[in-house]
Amino acid sequence: MININNALLTSINERNEPVPATDKLEYDQAVHRVEQEVRKLLQNAPPLIRPQTSHLAQASGKGIRARALLACAMGSDGLVTPGAVQAAAAVELLHLATLIHDDIIDEADTRRGIATLHVKYGQKIAVLCGDYLFCLAFDLACSISPREADRNKVSVVLPSYFTEICLGEIREFGNTGNLDLNEGEYFRIISEKTAALFAASFHAGFLLSDEPAEVKDIYLTIGKEMGTIFQLTDDCLDFVSSKKKARKPVLTDCRRGVVTLPLIYALQVDQTLRDKIEKGLTEQELKAAVLAAGGIEYTREKIEEHREKADQLIAVLRSAEKRDHLAGLLKQAAAV
C-alpha cells in the first residue's frame, strides 16, 4: 500500500463505535477539506513525480462527483463524516487519473486551463502519474476508518466501479470510427465510462450516511442519471462550446473518431452524411452537418428526459438540504 502521509489519515483508528459528532463537518467545510486533501496529496507525492503532480495541483475541476458524494453522505444531523471526505478525495483522484489518460489518447494540449501533463513532461511520465493516482485512489478508499467502513464496505464498493470505468474506456476505444454504433450501444459505453463514477460517488455517499437500506437504489439511480446527463452534455459541448469556455480542446470527438449521440442521430437523419464522412470531412464541416441534422437538439431532449427522472427521485429524499445540494449539482451537470 502507498504511504499517504497526511493529517487526515493519521487520525484513523481501529474503534468501531459511531463517529463522534465533533469529528463531523458541515457540507461546505467537507467540500473545502476534500479540495485541501487532494491538493496536499498532489503536492506531497514522491519526489520522482512531484513536479508533475504539483503541476496538476495548479488547476482544479468542478468537483461535481466529490460534492455529490458529500451531499449523499450527509447524515440526519446535516453533517459529513471524515470517511466521506476520504471517499470523495479518492473519487477526485481517480477522475484526475482518467483525465490524464484521456488527454494522452486525445492528444489534448490543455486541460482545466493549463498544459496537459503529457505535453509539459512527456507521455511516459504522464502515464505513470496516471497510474500512481489510480493506486492512490484505491489506497484512500481502502483506508477509511473501520468505525465507518465495517458496516458499509466502501473499500469493496468503490474498486468495483473503478474496474467498470476502465472497461467503458476500452469499449469506447474499440468503437473508434464505428459509424454503425447505435444508440443503445452508445448508452452502454457511457454508462460504464462516465455514469459509473457518478454511481460510485452516490453509492459511497449513501453507505457513509445514516439513510435506511431501502433507499439505496434511489441513490444509485440518481447517480447513474446524473452521470448520463453529464456525458450527454459534454458530447454536446464538444460541438458547440469554445476552447476558452471549455478550458480544454473542442471537437476532439470528431478528431479521434469517437461516435457520440449527436453524430449517431445526424447519421440517421442525413442519409448522405456517412458517405461524406468516409470520403473526408473537416471538423468544421462535420460540426455543421451535425447541427443541421438536429443532433444537438435531439441530445438535449435526451438530457431533459434523464434530468426529469433524476429530479423526481431527488424530490423523495427526506433531507431538504440534501435535495437542494443534489438539485444544484444536477442543474450544473445539465448545463449545455
The runs of H, that is alpha helices, within 74-107 are: 82-106
Neighbours of 43 (CB within 10 A): 13
Can you give the pLDDT at residue 9? 39
pLDDT over threshold 90, residue 216: yes
Which of 15, 13, 8, 16 lies closest to 38, judged by CA?
8
pLDDT digits (tens, 9 = 90+) for 87-122: 999 999 999 999 998 888 878 888 888 899 999 999
Give CA–CA dist 165/335, Å, rounded. Answer: 23
Can you give the pLDDT at residue 14? 36
pLDDT digits (tens, 9 = 90+) for 116-175: 999 999 999 999 999 999 999 988 888 887 666 444 577 777 778 878 888 998 999 899
Neighbours of 326 (CB within 10 A): 28
Residues in the chain: 336
Can you give the pLDDT at residue 141? 85
Number of H helices, E strands in the chain: 19, 2
Can you give the pLDDT at residue 142? 83
Predicted structure pTM score: 0.88
**What pairs with residue 110 in β-bridges?**
115
pLDDT digits (tens, 9 = 90+) for 4-13: 444 333 333 3
Instruction: Give phi and psi for 286, each to the nearest 5.
Output: -65, -40
Average pLDDT, the chain: 87
* Confidence band of 190 (pLDDT split at 50, 70, 90): very high
pLDDT over threshold 80, residue 193: yes
* Confidence band of 283 (pLDDT split at 50, 70, 90): confident
Instruction: Give phi and psi for 114, each to the nearest 5.
Output: -125, 165
Contact 117, 56 (CB under 8 A): yes
Domains and CATH numbers, the chain: 20-333 (1.10.600.10)
Can you give the pLDDT at residue 246? 60
Contact 223, 256 (CB under 8 A): no
Give CA–CA dist 137/76, Å, rounded. Answer: 28
